[in-house]
Chains A and B, each alone.
Chain A
Amino acid sequence: MSADTMEATVRNARLSPEEEAILHSKEVLECIQCGTCSASCPTAYAMDYTPRQIIAALRAGELEKVLRSNTPWLCTSCNYCTVRCPAGIQFTDFMYDLKRMAVKRNLNPRGSAEFYKATVSTVDRHGRSAEMELMIRYYVSRLNPLGLLKLLPFGLKMLVRGRLPLLPHRIKGRADLAKMLDHVAQKGEA
């Protein structure tokens, strides 16, 4: 065992079963490092690590660096990587796995998950989404009232055309929906 591998092994001793699993996932094991994913990715230029480098980093045991990177948060789910991968790796889904794991361990870059959390909160309470409440929740969470002000001209244009959703529609079955989501969440923790 080389010194590098030894170091990674020692570092990984504290990994949870879920984290251990991702280091030995199909994606990490079966990738052929051809880089088709990175070449196909419309946002790779802005990523800390390109999709191919993400797999290489995980092979080197650098899970924490991967989870701290901006990469998963720049995935737009365009699915080019997934449909082009010669090894059949569903990279888009893998990006989602990394996002969930990063948030769970609170390692995701600051601000990266706030809009997502605002969406989930709106959807879970009302059963529907609505842009206005989302944006307000998002900018409040970022302590950025200026961001909201900057949206004003855009908001006004949408408003005069009757296209600004002020309040989300609330579904009738929202109590049932909440029970369903609670049930799933509790199962997940068990």
Chain B
Amino acid sequence: MAYSYYPGCTQEVSTKAYDRSSRAVAKALGLDLIEIDDWNCCGSSPSYSLRHVETYALNARNLALAERGAPGGDVVTICNGCFGMMDKTNRRLAEDADLRREIDEALAVADLEYRGTLTVRHLLDILVKDVGREAIEQKVTHPLEGLKVAGYIGCAFSRPSGIDDMEFPTALDDLLTWIGADVVDYPLKAACCGGVLMMGDKQDVALKLVHTLLAEAVRRGATCLATACPLCHLNVEAYQGQVNSRFGTDFSLPVLFFSQLLGVSMGLSKKDLGLGEELISAKALLAPFMT
């Protein structure tokens, strides 16, 4: 099955392990990810905060390029933020004729057109719904038995998209269970990491949210967190030091992408999964499952 693939900006460098491991597990599961040629940033919430039609135009360019490069294939993203922005654009274009006209004109300036044939998807959603339990379980050679993990799926996977329960999305927990992990009960799975507030003048508020997320995961017995979004991932991983100095805690909780854990369970190599790039090493934690 072919999909247009939209990696998203952070996957180029700061969370490139997510991109690499997503491509690796997709390939091993027979999904053909065709990267959108010359894609641009989705604008994310900073752009949408300042101008909405321009932000729709940014996303429409990507949709147009995707439709041209892999007609009929859904667009797959791995970032909750990009997913939310592209999905919102795609839905608005379908329901708002005035906006549609405006965007069509803007696309025409760049010799592009978007016919509206695509559906925007998240890779995790595709794995859980399209690939499914049986096909995934068949590929598991190194079940993650005994690995106590909290699945932190984040906000924008299911809110407001509705692709999973909007209060208690289970896609990530399901996948982690299928690959043999010991998934801890984590009621904050879809609570907020602070998002973009971590960058800018409201960082204190975001640090407090991350502190709550980490404290609850530890209290529930998790020895690592699994994420499905690079923004959630950066907030809960890269800012643990700042959380510790502010709240007098000593968190040192490894954070891994769901694609990395899936890849480990499938026996994929450390290199293909970008393991070793974590700021808080997961080496000892994953050692029992590595070949």
Contacts and interface: CB of A to CB of B under 8 A. Distances in A.
Nearest to A118: B46
B39 to A, nearest CB: 7
A128 B40 contact: yes
Contacts of A116: 46-47, 49-50, 200
Contacts of B156: 77-79
Given A79-B156, A115-B199, A115-B200, A173 B50 contact: no
Interface string A151-188: 00110011001111100110111001101110111011
A96 B48 contact: yes
A173 B46 contact: no
Interface stretch (A3-11, A23-31, A54-62, A106-114): A106-114
A66 B228 CA distance: 35
Given A163-B15, A164-B14, A120 B205 contact: no
B135 interface: no
Interface residues of A, number: 61
A130 B14 CA distance: 9
Contact of B106 (A42, A119, A165, A180): A180
A120 B57 contact: no
A134 B58 CA distance: 18
Given A123-B47, A173-B110, A128 B9 contact: yes
Give the interface residue-count category, chain B.
35 or more
Contacts, number: 184
Interface string A74-105: 10111110110000001010001001100100
A38 interface: no
Interface of B: 9-10, 12-16, 38-41, 43-54, 57-58, 61, 84, 102, 105-107, 109-112, 155-156, 159-160, 166-167, 191-192, 194-197, 199-202, 205-206, 209, 238, 241, 276-279
Given A115-B200, A158-B279, A171-B39, 4 more contacts: A43-B205, A74-B202, A77-B156, A172-B38
19 contacts: A76-B194, A76-B195, A76-B196, A76-B206, A77-B156, A78-B156, A96-B49, A115-B199, A115-B200, A120-B50, A123-B58, A127-B40, A138-B200, A153-B241, A164-B13, A177-B40, A181-B57, A184-B53, A185-B54
